[in-house]
């Protein structure tokens, strides 16, 4: 007996251990499928959902990959079994916002009231030993140390937020090793990047103001519901949906009003002089250790320690939250109940293999199974293509009934999915080029019909919103920079700067083959859009640079909010990545940004530099600093500044020119 799991972090995983399968099927573990790892965030944004069940399986897969003992693997599988509905919101109910450990109080009680002790005894394992997580140093360690729990939720959550790619996930895992029963990195740069990105996830998902505000709001709501005996503490051990249904069924006016404030329009970051309440949260950060020779050493990096201290200070100060009375009725979160895979029993109507959708795209059926409640047959399949909205090879779930259904196209009945055979598309065609070649030659897709179908199915509200944004950003052409064009007839505008900079990224791509060029081009296109509202801030404008960050962040919120919500998040992420300068791609883009500015000043014979009396040494020092410590960009910088020096293009304070 076995079960196939398709995990977004670790890929295809086959569970064959009968002990693990029995534990997974206990009601206590199945309940975790209805517990959102991110508390109430999916009330604000339904896309932000990862179940505690997925995370527990992920920790199990990671521990297995790291060679942990069977006992530690099982401990990892059940480590979050006592998490309550809405996860860490419970900490705000019991005023434990900083340590966030309330669920640990119920850990042993949950295990010993389940069938897990009997299951473990059946396989000759000691439940008391496994329930004592202090035995397992790969699974759990105190902050800021690495552990499997911390690593899995970082990887899982970073993928959800688009902070890292699957290739980067695999690289991180490949540089992990167990030494002296401790998880350490084998590469300093990977360890540093992990530490910085861990803090970035804290800023974006685990502890930003809106998250803390929504947790506090729901925590206070649940306190009130407990006091009014609308709910009991036992209700915390149901699922998010069940608890939410009970709150709404109470018809208590105050509770309903508070629930309806659970939206982005109502929960805002306030100020010291204008706020509704102050809240605090947990600062999550790591200081990984690395292995050097035969020794484990701490990651000694002054910049990292400074960044960590600043991060802790910011989080520990707490947030002022402003509640704006913009209620929106909450529909019960429509979660797709998980499929309980049928232990290798395949649907008779659907064969594993490759299929072509009637609109042209190709798919691969990965597994069939039955729904745990309705017992209806379902299909799990993935797209063999890249999607801007859904990512690479997106995975879908559909009932067998719908999958095999015929559709009418131009009066003719055709299969919704046409079976191509298990070998119809070889593994080598999973990439874009292979699929494109097949579509052109072997399968001969009727593009006219395909595009006709796509056109008729356009989401017109989304298109109208997108076009409105595209019209708005035309204003970038009117934002003047402080650098003349080569003919001195006018100043360069920011749209021209963006185009020229994108060409630099593209032309110099061979200098950084390891970097994601597509992401850098996207970052280039987005990074200066905020100047539509914030304006350009020249390098010599000291007063303007004092509040530049605040002006541009406000401009980003105003501009990107005009996009559909999913694109708003993408654009915000690209803008923030450039500003934060934590990734290799963002540093390269910053270097190209500076190269363009220097090059344009050279083309305009240094007119701005001379007019503003900016001398060669000051300019060189500033440019080298902006280009960071990358030796390639330092050489490029020196090359351009040698031309500036040779041609006397900067102001010379000795000659007054």
pLDDT digits (tens, 9 = 90+) for 261-297: 988 889 999 998 999 999 999 999 999 999 988 889 9
pLDDT score of 431 more than 80: no
Between strands 3-7 and 417-421, the pairing is unpaired
Predicted local distance difference test score (pLDDT) of residue 145 = 93
In 3D space, the residue among 602, 604, 633, 605 whose CA is nearest the CA of residue 512 turns out to be 633
Identify the band that residue 354 occupies on the pLDDT scale cut at 50, 70 and 90.
confident
Residue 338 pLDDT exceeds 50? no
Which residue ranges form the domains of the chain, and what is each CATH number? 3-323 (1.10.3210.10), 339-456 (2.30.30.320), 469-646 (1.10.3210.10)
499 band by pLDDT with thresholds 50, 70 and 90? very high
Distance CA(137)–CA(183), nearest Å, equals 9
Which of 591, 439, 606 has the alpha carbon at shortest distance from 527? 591
Structure tokens at 65: 């990959």
pLDDT at 344 over 90: no
Q: How confident is the model at residue 656 (pLDDT cuts 50, 70, 90)?
A: very low
**Pure H helices in 528-583:** 531-534, 542-546, 548-560, 565-580
- Token pair, residue 407, equals 């559709």
Mean pLDDT of 184-199: 94
pLDDT at res. 332: 46
Residues near 182 by beta carbon (within 8 Å), at least 6 away in sequence: 137, 138, 141, 145, 146, 289, 296
> Rounded to 5, what percent of the chain is helix, strand, coil?
50, 15, 35
Q: What is residue 87's DSSP assignment?
A: T
- What is the structure's pLDDT at 627? 79
Q: Which residue has the higher pLDDT, 507 or 390?
A: 507
CA atoms within 13 A on the CB side of 528: 28
Please determine, for residue 458, whether its predicted confidence score (pLDDT) is greater than 70: no
Which runs of E-coded beta strand occur in 372-458?
A: 377-383, 386-387, 391-392, 395-399, 406-409, 412-415, 417-421
- Residue 583, Cα to own-chain centre: how many angstroms? 14
pLDDT tens digits, residue range 368-411?
A: 776 645 556 788 888 888 877 777 788 888 888 788 888 887 77
Residue 122, pLDDT above cutoff 90: yes
Q: Is-contact 336 34, C-beta < 8 A?
A: no
Per-residue b/e over 386-419, b at no fewer than 16 CB within 10 Å?
eeeeeeeeeeeebebeebbeeeeeeeeeeeebee
Distance CA 280, CA 97 (A): 6
Region 481-502 average pLDDT: 92
What is the chain's alpha carbon radius of gyration, rounded to the nearest angstrom?
28
Within 8 A by CB and 6+ apart from 73, the residues are 20, 60, 63, 64
Q: 76-80, 522-526, 627-631 — which is least confidently predicted?
A: 627-631
pLDDT confidence bin for 337, thresholds 50/70/90: very low
CA distance 184 to 278: 37
> What pLDDT does 657 receive?
46
Across the strands, what pairs with 634? none
Question: CA 271, CA 209: separation in Å to the nearest integer?
Answer: 11
Q: How far is CA 99 from CA 57, 88, 149, 280, in A?
A: 24, 10, 16, 11
Cα(216)–Cα(238) distance, integer angstroms: 20
Report the range of poorest mean pLDDT among 57-71, 157-171, 216-230.
157-171
More confident position, 364 or 47: 364
**Whether 305 contacts 18, CB under 8 Å:** no
Determine what percent of the chain is predicted with pLDDT higher than 90: 48
Neighbours of 595 (CB within 10 A): 23
- Write down the residue that tokens 């965030």 correspond to: 41
User: What confidence category does residue 529 fall into, taking pLDDT thresholds of 50, 70 and 90?
Assistant: very high
Q: Which tokens is 240 given? A: 């998010």
CB 197 within 8 A of CB 164: yes
* pLDDT (0 to 100) of residue 569: 83
Instruction: Sort residue 446 into left (φ over 0), alpha (ψ -120 to 50) or beta.
Output: beta
Q: Is the peptide bond before 144 cis (omega within 30 degrees of 0)?
A: yes
Please tell me the predicted confidence (pLDDT) of residue 432: 42
Nearest by Cα to 137 from 294, 289, 295: 289
How does DSSP assign 504-525, residue by residue?
HHHHTGGG-TTS-HHHHHHHHH
pLDDT of residue 341: 35
Task: Name the band, by pLDDT with cuts 50, 70 and 90, for residue 653.
Answer: low
Residues listed for the chain: 657
Choose the weakest-confidence range: 182-196, 251-265, 623-637, 642-656.
Answer: 642-656
Assess whether pLDDT exceeds 80 at residue 339. Answer: no
- Check residue 375 and give its pLDDT: 52
Q: How far apart are CA 260 and CA 276, in angstroms?
A: 16
Residue 648 CB: number of other CB atoms within 10 A? 14
């Amino acid at each position: 007996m076995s079960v196939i799991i398709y995990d977004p972090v670790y890929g295809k995983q086959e569970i064959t251990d009968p002990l693990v399968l029995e534990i997974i099927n206990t009601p206590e573990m199945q309940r975790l499928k209805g517990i959102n790892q991110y508390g109430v965030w999916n009330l604000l944004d339904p896309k932000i959902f990862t179940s505690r069940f997925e995370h527990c399986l992920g920790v199990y897969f990671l521990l297995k990959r790291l060679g942990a003992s069977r006992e530690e693997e099982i401990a990892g599988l059940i480590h979050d079994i006592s998490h309550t509905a809405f996860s860490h919101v419970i900490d705000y109910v019991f005023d434990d916002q900083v340590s966030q450990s309330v669920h640990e109080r119920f850990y042993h009680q949950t295990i010993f009231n389940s069938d897990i002790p009997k299951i473990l005894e059946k396989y000759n394992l000691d439940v008391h030993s496994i329930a004592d997580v202090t035995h397992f140093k790969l699974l759990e360690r105190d902050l800021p140390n690495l552990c499997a729990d911390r690593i899995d939720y970082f990887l899982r959550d970073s993928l959800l937020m688009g902070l890292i790619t699957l290739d980067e996930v695999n690289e991180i895992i490949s540089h992990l090793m167990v030494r002296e029963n401790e998880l350490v990195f084998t590469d300093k740069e990977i360890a540093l990047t992990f530490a910085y990105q861990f803090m970035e996830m804290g800023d974006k998902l685990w502890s930003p103001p809106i998250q803390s505000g929504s947790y506090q709001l729901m925590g206070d709501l649940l306190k009130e519901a407990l006091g009014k005996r609308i709910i009991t503490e036992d209700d915390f051990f149901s699922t998010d949906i069940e608890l939410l249904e009970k709150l709404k069924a109470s018809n208590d006016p105050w509770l309903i009003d508070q629930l309806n404030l659970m939206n982005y329009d109502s929960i805002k970051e306030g100020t010291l002089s204008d706020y509704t309440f102050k809240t605090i949260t947990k600062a999550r950060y790591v200081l990984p250790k690395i292995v050097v020779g035969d020794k484990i050493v701490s990651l000694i990096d002054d910049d990292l320690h400074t960044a960590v201290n600043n991060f802790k200070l910011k989080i520990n100060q707490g947030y002022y939250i402003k509640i704006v009375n913009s209620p929106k009725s909450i529909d019960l979160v429509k979660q797709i109940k998980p499929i309980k895979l049928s232990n290798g029993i395949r649907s008779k109507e659907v064969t594993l293999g490759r299929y072509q959708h009637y609109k042209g795209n190709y798919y691969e059926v990965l597994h069939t199974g039955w729904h745990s409640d309705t017992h209806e047959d379902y299909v799990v399949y993935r797209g063999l293509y890249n999607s801007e909205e859904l990512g690479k090879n997106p995975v879908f779930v559909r009932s067998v009934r719908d999958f095999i259904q015929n559709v009418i196209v131009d009066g003719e009945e055709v299969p919704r999915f046409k079976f191509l055979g298990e070998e119809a598309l070889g593994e080598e065609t999973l990439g874009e080029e292979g699929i494109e070649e097949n579509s052109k030659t072997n399968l001969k897709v009727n593009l006219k019909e395909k595009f006709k179908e796509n056109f008729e199915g356009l989401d017109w509200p989304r298109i109208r919103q997108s076009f409105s944004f595209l019209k708005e950003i035309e204003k970038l052409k009117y934002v003047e920079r402080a650098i003349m064009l080569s003919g001195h007839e006018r100043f360069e505008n920011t749209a021209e700067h963006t185009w020229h900079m994108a060409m630099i990224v593209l032309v110099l791509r061979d200098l950084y083959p390891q970097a994601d060029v597509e992401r850098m081009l996207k970052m280039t296109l987005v990074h200066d859009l905020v100047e539509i509202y914030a304006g350009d801030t020249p390098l010599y404008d000291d007063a303007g640079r004092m509040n530049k960050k605040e002006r541009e962040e406000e401009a980003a919120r105003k501009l990107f909010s005009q996009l559909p919500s999913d694109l708003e998040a993408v654009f915000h992420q690209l803008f923030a990545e450039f500003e934060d300068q934590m990734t290799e791609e963002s540093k390269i883009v910053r270097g190209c940004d500076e190269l363009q500015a220097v090059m344009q000043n050279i083309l305009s014979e240094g007119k701005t530099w001379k007019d503003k009396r900016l001398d060669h040494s000051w300019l060189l020092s500033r440019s080298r600093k902006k280009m960071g410590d990358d030796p390639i960009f330092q050489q490029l910088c020196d090359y351009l500044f040698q031309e500036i020096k040779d041609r006397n293009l900067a102001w010379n304070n000795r000659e007054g020119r």
